[in-house]
Amino acid sequence: MVKTGVECKLIPIASLYVLRHNLFGNDINKKGTPQGLIKIPESLGIVVGIVFLVLAILFQHFNFATDSSWLVEYNVALASICFMILLAFVDDVLDVSWRVQLVLPSFATLPLLMAYASHTIIVIPKPLIPYVGLEVLDLVGQTVVIASAILIHYVMQIGASKDLEYQQAHAFSTYLIQPFLATSLALLCHN
């Protein structure tokens, strides 16, 4: 929760700098009304991303030994997240076309792909398939709900299992989802 508090203080400060450099948008749903003229700062994800990375790096100091088998995967995950934060900022500042936006995340996942030695299955629920890739799913409120559900699931899996390696795998995932959830909560308080 320290992370959420830090972000809640930094976002308004960063908003002033962003607005000063004309990085803003307008609410197109309120066009023609006085609220439609309000400047909405963009690129604030960089603040949240930097706080996430700093706290995730500090978090690893307290939760991983230097000889931990999970340390490499954790650092690779942080490197991929760092690339995505950079790409999101570049997109906000340079207004990158959607064709390029489709390709850039592939480069950000390269460190993760090189270090990950297992298999992964991604299943998208059928009701969500028509919305995949649309802005509808990018709402921070939905992110908070989904991240909370994932965290609860991981905690339940840790408690239900007797297999130490299985527990460690889910604990590893909770190490990444906790700061993500805190980040989303900070954005939610400014939405």
Specify the pTM: 0.65
pLDDT at 108: 82
Q: Which of 138, 71, 78 is nearest to 108 (CA)?
A: 78
Range of the domain at 101: 2-121+133-189
Instruction: Indicate if the pLDDT at residue 134 is higher than 60.
Output: no
| 46-69 pLDDT tens trace | 888 888 888 888 888 887 777 777
Per the structure, the count of domains in the chain is: 1
Inside any domain, residue 127 = no
Residue 46: partners with Cβ closer than 8 Å, 6 or more residues away: 14, 85, 88, 89
Inside any domain, residue 10 = yes
Inside any domain, residue 113 = yes
